[in-house]
Structure 1
């Protein structure tokens, strides 16, 4: 699996609006209408639709 990257400020706001703590999530992919997130510690994945 690819390594996640730190989210940008706009991505952090989207993650927070979805109810997650942006400090614990990394962005794996960023297609135009989704964010693919990977948890820093547990490596679980989530997809947020924008």
Structure 2
């Protein structure tokens, strides 16, 4: 699996809107309409649509 990167400002806003804490998530893949997130501690993945 790819290593995640820290989310930028726009991505953090999308993560907050979905009810998640952006400090706990890394961005693995970013498209125009979705973000693939990886949890920093557990490694759980989640897709967020923007």
TM-score past 0.5 threshold: yes
TM-score by length of 1: 0.96
Give the gaps of 5 or more residues in structure 1.
Answer: none
TM-score by length of 2: 0.96
Q: What is the CA–CA distance in structure 1 between the aligned matches of 2:36 and 2:12, rounded to whole Å?
A: 13
Root-mean-square deviation over aligned CA pairs = 0.5
Shift of 1:23: 0.2
Give the gaps of 5 or more residues in structure 2.
Answer: none
The alignment covers a number of residue pairs equal to 50
Shift of 1:49: 1.1
Any runs of at least 4 consecutive aligned residues in structure 1 with deviations exceeding 2 A, and if so which?
none
